[in-house]
Amino acid sequence: DVQMTQSPYNLVASPGESVSINCKASKSISKYLAWYQQKPGKTNKLLIYDGSTLQSGIPSRFRGSGSGTDFTLTIRSLEPEDFGLYYCQQHNEYPLTFGSGTKLEIK
């Protein structure tokens, strides 16, 4: 199984700042990495797939990069509504596996 190691566990940032979340796969997953946002009272949202492809309707301040084993989600110019939990997931093979999550808190 592909283990996904996500960091940091927690992030605190102010509106307007940029933050990065990292995800490392235990073996190469080519480009097949997705990022999801989880917020209370909302359904989970797919943000990025194939490492860097923005899902329809997602603001361009979300940017994904990386390939192979190392991936990064960057959120530029943070908005207050960006708080929540973020998960990476490899979509290269079964079993599908997720990172442990990053909690983003807005100052």
Which stretches of the chain bind another protein, using CB under 8 A? 32, 34, 36, 38, 43-46, 49, 55, 87, 89, 91-101
Report which of 88, 94, 98 is spatially closest to residue 3, judged by C-alpha positions. Answer: 98
| Cross-sheet strand order for the sheet of 4-7 | 4-7, 19-25, 70-75, 62-67
* Nearest distance from C-beta of residue 16 to another protein, angstroms: 29
Nearer to another protein, 13 or 85 (CB): 85
* Smallest separation, CB 17 to another protein (Å): 25
Contacts of residue 56, defined as CB under 8 A and 6 or more positions apart, other chains included, come to none
Closest to another protein by CB, 76 vs 101, is 101
